[in-house]
Amino acid sequence: MAKKCPLLKKACIEHDCQWYTNVMGKHPQTEETINNWGCAVEWLPVLLIENAQQARQTGASIDSFRNEMVKDNQKQLEVYTQRLQHESD
């Protein structure tokens, strides 16, 4: 028996449906390689998990970059302050 369409509540029409999509990549939870055709509505939970993971990684990268910039700015401020003190002496 064919899968039931979550939108039409009828048998899936597969390649005749615009929601029938090929997804390639790695499963975000199992790291298993994926290259499957399926309904975009069925893929939505997996893709949302992947999107959340990518957003977390992006946030972590931004935090790391920010921390490095704060350190660098602090060093520059110290050098500038020392130079000003040296010039005033």
pLDDT computed for residue 2 by the predictor: 61
Q: Which residues of the chain have pLDDT under 50?
A: 1
The answer to pTM > 0.85 is no
pLDDT computed for residue 30 by the predictor: 86
Calpha distance 38→62 (Å, rounded) = 34
Residue 23, strand partner residues:
36
Give the chain's end-to-end CA distance (angstroms, integer): 89
Q: Which of 54, 42, 34, 33 is nearest to 14 (CA)?
A: 42
